A and B are shown apart, each in its own frame.
Chain A
């Protein structure tokens, strides 16, 4: 009761014309400006995202009034510019699946291995040097990786050294190099997750006669699994969305990809080349771009939602 009374008095004092004797209210205009600036920054981000979705959806809907959704999703011939046009997106999806799959085969073991090494084995001094180096690797422009994939991996390593039966492009070269590009992302985020596992769990394990490998694989990795899954998912999203490497090294012809040494155009690769073309705004060819874009967006969204579910199920407090 007394609390209410005190509050009442305080409120009365504040609202009285003379104001508070000790705690006079001050106006702080600077603070208000800052709050509004920050609020604007937050809202702008949201508005941009909404804008992107809308600008994708509107032309895409227009596309689907002309082309059957089933024909689009399950058709296996992609020839939007031919006289006898066909809009089956499967060739693009197979190419994306190949490059993404190959890149993950490279990036997940390497990234996780690097993370476990950095967090569980490396001496603090080694870690202090290696982790920033790893993160710098993540900052290399993808066009550089693309050039490397095209001119070195594909034409020198695959064709000259290994004499593989392959053309100027292959999903393997693009996938491998893309995998290398993703390693730092997976390694860095997984390492954060592993390092966050309390030391006491490692000590408890060691005190039971477990060696480092057992402690790492049976205690630390399971305890950090939600962070590791998050890292892998981010890697998947980057692989699906990566454009420059696949546009340069995977190929430009949209055909069903049956093997790693074949060339193939990915969804992003198609969008990059078509966006540079001279298709008329509002034409079917122009709208095709947005239909593929929307599909790409939906795919990444699904991957992210699945991962959120996995993380939720696996999360363990410690």
Chain B
């Protein structure tokens, strides 16, 4: 064996054990009837699991909820994160202090964030509904109309700092000369932002969007800690659906099929996003 292959061998083995094998096994699971409580009756079923999942109204609903969640949360995080980054970039007093404070939510474990907001927004006990009611506003945060939106807001609270961090780093790495040139030419703040900052920041934005979107697709903790998918199934997300199918009902084959369908959806979206960004790049 050539030396170069010997060098990558340990890592290749490690990755096969922790990535390749589980992935291949879930692929195998997806084509089998595999219930943890009926292991004596495991058999090949072809695409049956996929058909079952694709025709299950709960799965389609969970997929819809997840897409709304990802779209809502990530776009809000993008806008707020970018705005904060632009403001903070100019802020010179208490620079490190203000940045550490703003980044804090990111370091709390999501399940704790879920539990915290469950009580903060609880209609009976919560401090937020309490003060809102003092000014005459009653909001049922986890009612059927608002529950998914409330989960989006919680995600925004926790993960906007991540966007902020990415954009601050991106902004600080931008060259200064184009800005000086723009000032000489008399460009206002909006023109500078839309014609210089935004295009130069594009690759950072795309990377941040992809990372956040991939993460948001996995939303589980808030749902588990707060709504368990309710009221009705208005906050059931795809990860919660997979958890229920696999770990509460022990239908591992169907859970694996659902997971593979989710991977497919995510791959399509990521490829589209990257293509779009490359096309924009080429158009210039």
Do A and B truly interact? no
Q: Footprint of A on B, CB under 8 Å?
A: none
